[in-house]
A and B are shown apart, each in its own frame.
Chain A
Amino acid sequence: MSVGILGTKVGMTQIFDESGKSVPVTVIQAGPCTVTQIKTKETDGYMAVQLGYGEVAQKALNRPELGHLSKVGAGPLRHLKEYRLADSAQYELGGQVKVDIFEPGQVVDVIGTSIGRGFAGYQKRHNFRRGPMAHGSKNHRLPGSIGPGTTPGRVYPGRRMAGRMGGCQVTIRKLTIVRVDTERNLLLVKGSVPGKPGGLLNVVPAKQVGK
């Protein structure tokens, strides 16, 4: 129930902490995001703010999208994302959300799209064991049995099989923010995040489960 920020993955590197230990970090170029819409209880039934990120050319957006953004007076923005809030009154239309909403040491969740693996087999997609490679075996990367015989006479739904892998939304939870660079709009997060450099990321304060 608090506002996050949209950003782009820049890449990974390592930095040294105070004790001289090397910490693996992901660099995220986040914000500044423009508040493009404020949802209130009266008009929408719930409280939220919508943030826009990623300036693009005018022709990249269609007219409904441009019309929506023209109410704010912001330039054409590629990505819009809504954050539900307990109180959305403190935000004003056209305002900016920058990386200074985070501070070093804070725990965040990073949401992004994982790297697409295409049509992946059993081993890569579901961590199946492989068959023996030698002694005349022809069963190398096959799944083995996928169910009983005449009874039930069908394969049960949910059976893990080969198919499209990756390219779906992934949340990496509880990553620590190591450094916040307000000048260059950078966030340094300990650990890895989904996707390739250049991918869109959504950084939100860590969700507390069970509270």
Chain B
Amino acid sequence: MKAQEIIRSIESEQMKQSLPTIYVGDTVKVGVIIQEGGKERTQPYEGVVISKKGSGINQNITVRKTFQGVGVERVFLLHSPRIESIKVLRRGKVRRAKLYYLRDRVGKATRLKQRFDRSLNS
């Protein structure tokens, strides 16, 4: 077996079979498994995908939301077992691959136009 095939086979064991198609600009709800006093529970995190990075097992998304007037960004490894679920709530219409300009905006200016040509469940 060649080197790349070996690595791909190791990675494919760990990768999730079904992930929704996520685009930059989408509003997503990510279910994160967190540990709380020896117990595990799922915590939802909702926000706008401002960046997609990596490929294969290292694929990750950056999700931004504004919480109590403070911008919060979290990076999620899509294939991590700690990510229980990802649901696309809204498709956004954007013209950039990275929406870092949203960091400089507050309030109404952070809104993204919705697009309807992409279905939510694919």
Contacts and interface: CB of A to CB of B under 8 A. Distances in A.
Interface of A: 10-11, 13-16, 20, 22, 27, 29, 184, 186, 188, 197-198
Interface of B: 1, 3-4, 6-7, 10-11, 14, 33, 57-58, 77, 79-82
A11 B7 contact: yes
Given A14-B58, A15-B14, A20-B82, A29 B6 contact: yes
A116 B115 CA distance: 52
Given A16-B14, A188-B10, A11 B3 contact: yes
A197 B7 CA distance: 12
B107 to A, nearest CB: 36
B1 A184 contact: yes
User: Which of A10, A29, A188, A197 has the most C-beta atoms of chain B within 10 angstroms of its own C-beta?
Assistant: A10
A10 B14 CA distance: 18
Contacts of B11: 13, 15
14 contacts: A10-B7, A11-B4, A13-B10, A14-B57, A14-B58, A15-B57, A16-B81, A20-B33, A20-B81, A20-B82, A27-B10, A186-B10, A188-B10, A197-B3
Contacts of B6: 10-11, 27, 29, 184, 186
B37 to A, nearest CB: 16
Contacts of B80: 16, 20, 22
A11 B10 CA distance: 11
A22 to B, nearest CB: 6
A188 B9 CA distance: 13
A51 B7 CA distance: 26
A198 B82 contact: no
B26 to A, nearest CB: 23
Given A11-B7, A15-B11, A197-B3, 16 more contacts: A10-B3, A10-B6, A10-B7, A11-B3, A11-B4, A11-B6, A14-B58, A15-B10, A15-B57, A20-B81, A20-B82, A22-B77, A22-B80, A27-B6, A27-B7, A27-B10
Contacts of B7: 10-11, 13, 27
Nearest to B3: A10
Contacts of A197: 3
Nearest to A188: B10
B103 to A, nearest CB: 25
A28 to B, nearest CB: 10
User: Which of A14, A15, A29, A188 has the most C-beta atoms of chain B within 10 angstroms of its own C-beta?
Assistant: A14
B57 A13 contact: yes
Nearest to B35: A19
